[in-house]
Amino acid sequence: MIPVTKPYLPNRNKLNEYIDSIYECHWLTNNGPLVQELSRRLEEYLGVKNLLLVSNGTLALQIAYRALGINEPVKGKQAEAITTPFTFIATASSLKWDGIQPVFADIDPQTWCLAPENIKAAITPQTRAIVPVHVFGNACDVEAIDTVAQKHKLKVIYDASHAFGVNYKGKSLLEHGDASTLSFHATKLFHTGEGGAIVFKRKEDLDRAKKMINFGITGPETIEELGINAKMNELQAAMGLCVLDEMEGNMNARAEIWANYERKLAGSVQFQKISENISYNSAYFPVVLDTEQKAIEIEKKLKEIGVWARRYFYPSLETVRFLNGQNQQPVSHDIASRILCLPIYCTLAISDQDKISKIVKEQSVKTSE
C-alpha cells in the first residue's frame, strides 16, 4: 500500500541514545532537558524567538487563543474570529471548543489561502481575531492581513501547521502575526510523534502561555493562571531531536518528488499558485481536477492499485453543521470538491511516482471525453 504520507522514522541508534539519557536521569516530563534542548534548537533552525513546545497542534491553537485573550466575550457577547473554511477541522473546532464563534471568509482561488478582501467584509463588533492558515505551506498575504488587523485592532494567530521551515522574504514565515502555531503530528514534515509549538511575537505572551500549559502552576504552592496540561514530554522531544538532525535529507527528497510530479502532470491538472518570495517546503502535493467527479474517479482508480490519495480539505468547513457557518463560501466549496492530495514522502520510489502520475494524467483526460 502507498499511503498519502508516511511518518518519517529517523536513525534508530540515535533515538536509542536519547532514550538512554531519559532512563539515566528519570526525567520524563515537566520541561525536561530534551524539551529544553529541542526548544533551543528549533528556535535556531527556524530563526525565531519565543517558541513554546506543547503536546499537540490543536492545543497550540487553543493556548494561543487564551494567551492572547481572544476567547474573552465582547460586551457580554460571544467573541468571533475570522478564519478560512479550507483547512483541517481543528483550525475551526478549536475556536468553537474555546467558546469563540468561527466566522468563515472565502479563499483566494489560486493560492487557496484566506483572501484579505474577504476578511474585511466579515468583521463585526464581536470580532477579536483573524486566524488565517498557510495552506499546504503556502504563505498567506501577510502584509495585507496585518494591515486589516491593525486598522481594526484585531489579533492575528496563524495556523502554520504546514509551514515548518518556510521562509518569506528571507525570514521565517512564523514571525508574522501575534502568534503562529505548528503541528508536529506524525504525518507532518517535522514531527515528534504527537506535538506542536507556538511562536509568539511578544515575550510576555510566551510567559503567560508557559503558565497555562502546566495547569497555571508557577511554584510548589502557587497557581497564577487558569491552565491545562499541554506539556510536551521527553519521549516526544527525543523523536523531534532525531528528526531535526535529518531534516535536510528529508526535505531534499520531498522537493525532488514534488518536482517530478509537477513535470509529469503539467497541463493535466490545476496546481496551487505558490506565493512569491517564499522558500517552499514541499510538504504536500495537492492537485485540482476539472470536476468533482474526476477527483472521485481518480481517487477510486488509485485505490484499485493500492494508492491512497486524500481529498484534503473536504468538505469545506462552512458546511459542517456544528460550526454554525452562516454562508456558503463558493471558492472554498469549489476547490474542496475537486482537490486531491497525491502521496508524497521521502522514500516514495520514482517508479511509484510515475505510476501515480500516469493514472492521474490518463484519467483526467479520459473522464472529460
Mean pLDDT by 10 residues, the chain (369 residues): 96 97 97 98 98 98 97 94 98 97 98 97 97 98 98 98 98 98 97 98 98 94 94 98 97 98 97 96 98 97 97 96 88 98 98 98 74
For residue 306, give the DSSP letter.
T
Q: DSSP H helical segments within the chain, as ranges? A: 12-25, 33-46, 57-67, 89-97, 116-122, 142-152, 203-212, 234-245, 247-265, 292-304, 330-338, 350-366
Superfamily (CATH) of domain 247-366: Aspartate Aminotransferase, domain 1 (3.90.1150.10)
Fold of 12-244: Aspartate Aminotransferase; domain 2 (3.40.640)
Catalytic site residue 264?
no
pLDDT value at position 142?
98
And the C-alpha cell for 235?
519521549
On the question of a cis peptide bond just before residue 33, with omega within 30 degrees of 0, the verdict is no
Same fold: 12-244 with 247-366: no
Q: Could you tell me which residues come within 8 angstroms of residue 180 by beta carbon, excluding any fewer than 6 positions away?
A: 157, 158, 160, 163, 173, 174, 198, 199
Q: Where are the domains of the chain?
A: 12-244, 247-366
pLDDT value at position 368?
46
Q: Which long-range contacts (CB under 8 A, 24 or more apart) does 181-187 make?
A: 181/57, 181/60, 181/61, 181/64, 181/157, 182/57, 182/60, 183/56, 183/57, 183/58, 183/60, 184/56, 184/57, 184/236, 184/240, 185/56, 185/57, 186/7, 187/5, 187/7
Q: DSSP H helical segments within 7-81, as ranges? A: 12-25, 33-46, 57-67
Q: State pTM to two decimals.
A: 0.96
Q: In Å, how far are 103, 184, 307, 314, 345 from 301, measured between CA atoms?
A: 37, 31, 9, 19, 20
**Spatial distance between the Cα atoms of 253 and 271, rounded to a whole number of angstroms:** 20
Dmax (CA) of the chain:
73
The single residue of 75, 77, 155, 188 carrying the catalytic annotation is 188
